[in-house]
């Protein structure tokens, strides 16, 4: 039963983050400073803020390493 609740919660968080990422304007990906993860945290208030910070940091690292930018950021929080 506990595993089912955990999976349901993880799925709900993933769907909330996906909705938040889709709702953000394309220009949000180029936002500097901590405001991008704050925008994500406001859009998905039940998401773990540290997970959002790490996801934004990983995205910025990929872009600075030459990967093409994207209009969407998908995050799956299993915590």
| Complete DSSP assignment for 33-76 | TTHHHHHHHHHSTTS-HHHHHHHHHHHHHHHHTTPPP-S-----
Task: Supply the range of the domain harboring residue 32.
Answer: 2-64
Q: Provide the pLDDT for residue 29.
A: 47
pTM of the model: 0.54
User: Is 57 inside a domain boundary?
Assistant: yes
The pair phi, psi for residue 40, each rounded to 5°, is -65, -40
User: Is 14 inside a domain boundary?
Assistant: yes
- Name the nearest CA neighbour of 21 among 77, 61, 68, 67: 77
Residues of the chain with pLDDT under 70: 1-34
User: Is 16 inside a domain boundary?
Assistant: yes
Q: Provide the pLDDT for residue 72.
A: 85
Domain count, the chain: 1
Q: Provide the pLDDT for residue 25.
A: 46
Structure tokens at 78: 């299993």
């Amino acid at each position: 039963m506990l595993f089912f609740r955990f999976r349901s919660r993880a799925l709900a968080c993933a769907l909330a983050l996906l909705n938040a990422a889709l709702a953000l304007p394309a220009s949000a990906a180029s936002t500097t400073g901590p405001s991008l993860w704050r925008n994500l945290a406001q859009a998905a208030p039940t998401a773990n803020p540290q997970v959002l910070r790490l996801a934004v940091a990983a995205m910025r690292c990929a872009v600075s390493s030459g990967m093409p930018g994207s209009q969407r950021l998908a995050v799956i929080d299993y915590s």
